[in-house]
Chains A and B, each alone.
Chain A
Amino acid sequence: MQLKEVLDKYPQSEDYLIEILMDYQKHKMHHDLTEDELKTIATHLNIKESKVSSVVTFYSLFSLKPKGQHVIQVCHDVPCHVNNQPDVLSTLKTMLAIDIGQTTDDKMFTLEYTSCLGACDKAPAMRIGEKTFTKLTPNKIKAIIAEYRGRKHA
C-alpha cells in the first residue's frame, strides 16, 4: 500500500499520528519507516519532523531500521522460560544463524523478544507477524521456519 493511500484513510490531524504510523509500517515489507516517509507524514499532518521523530523513537514497536520480512517474536516471560523456551530459542538462533535483535542476511527473518503473549497455558510461545505459535519444540520450530522459507511475503 502506498503512503498516500494510508494518509487518505485518516483525518489530517496530529491525533492520528500513531495510527498512521502503525498502519503504514504494517504494510511495509521490512516493517520500517524511513526518514523520507516520516517527513511526508509530518508535512501532511503539519507537524514538525522533530516531533514525529520523538514519537517514533519513543515506541519500540516502530523501527527506523529495515527488519526481516518475517519478525519472529519469542516470548521472554517466566512461564515460557521455565517451559523449555531456551531450547526453542537456541534452535531458532542456530537455524537462522542470528542472535536476538538481528536480521538474516537474506532479509527474511528478524529475531526479537516479546513479553507474555497470553498463551502461558500452552507455553512456550512465539509470534510471527500476527500469527501465534504455541507448545513449541525444536522440531516444530524446524517445520515452521521451513514453511516460511518456502513462501513469499504475505
Chain B
Amino acid sequence: MTKNVVVIGGGASGIEASRRLRDLGYSPVLVEKEDHLGGHLASWNRLFPQMIPAKDILKSLTSDMKGIEVFLNTEVISINRLKDSYVVKFSNGLSAQVKAILITTGFTLFPAQKKQEYGYGIYDRVITNADLEAWFNGNKDKRVTDPQVIGFVHCVGSRDEKAGNRQCSKVCCATAVKQAIEIKEKFPDAVVYCFYMDLRMFGRGYEDMYLKAQKDYGIRFLRGRVSEVSEDINGRLVVKADDTLLGKPVKISMDLLVLMSGMIAPESNMELSKMLKVLPGEDGFFSPANAISNPTLSNRDGVFFAGAATGPKTMPETLSEGRAAALEIDSYLKRVGD
C-alpha cells in the first residue's frame, strides 16, 4: 500500500490528478462523498467561453479510470500521522497508509435563499444559475415558462460582507453572460438584463463573449446591484436597482430572475483542516503556503491542494492544477522515498 496517494474530492481536479498519478505509477485512492464523480462539472451544460458541452469533458475525464480505486458515498473520518506517513480512515470501513494526501474538495454554491430579499424559494419565478444549467440539461422547470423579460443578478452571496463572503467568485460574470446568450437563443423575443457591479471578463475569449452578447443578442447591461425583489398582483417580479450610470433608481417587471450564486468553501473543510492541521483562510478555502510560487503546496509535508479547494477557479485552471499537483506529489515522494 505504500505507493498509494489519497485524493479527497472526486470533481474535475481530483479526477485529473488521480489519472496523472496513475500514469506516473501510483495507485491513487479517490474519495468522493456523493454517489457520482465529476463534482460541479457533472451539473453544468455548456462551458464558457467556447461553449463546449460539459458532458464531453466529463466523459473524456472518466473514460479511463483503470488503476484508480474510487470510493463513492465515502468520507474521511480520521487522519493520523505515523512517522512520515498518514493513516486515513474512511466511512466505508477501509483505511489507507500513505505519504501524500491531495485535497480537491472544490466549492459549494452559496445557498441563494439566504439572500431573502431576492425571494429564492419564496417567489415562483426566481431561480439560480445551477437551476438554469439543469434546465439547459433538459430538466423540466415550471418557473421557466415563456418569459418576456429576464434578469440576471450578479454577485449573489459574493462580494457581500453581510452574507459572510467578501470574495469575488470569479466565474459568475462569465457564466451570467453565457447564460444570457443561451436563454436569448431559447426565447429570441425576450428582453434580457444583466445587473452587474463590475464585469469581470478576465479570460481569453471572455471579452468577445461580452461583445457578442451586446452586439448579436442585444443583452442589456445595467450597472447596479439589485437591492430587492417583490411580486406584483399578477405574480410578475418587480426588481429594484439603482442604475448607477444613469444615476436613477429603476424598477423593472420581470418574468424570470436568475441569481448568480457564488462559490463558497464547503463546510466540511473545517473538519478536514482540523484532521490535517492545515489552516483554511478567513474565507474557508484552503491556503497554500505560497500562493504565487506553488499553489499546490500546503504548509504541511505530504499535504497538497488542487482546484477550487483553494478558491474560485475556472475549469481549465482546475484541471491544470490537478496535473501540477500530481507532478508535485511525484517529486515529493521521490524525495522522501515512497
Do A and B make up one complex?
A: no
Question: A residues within 8 Å of B by Cβ?
Answer: none
Query: Which B residues fall within an 8 A CB radius of A?
Result: none
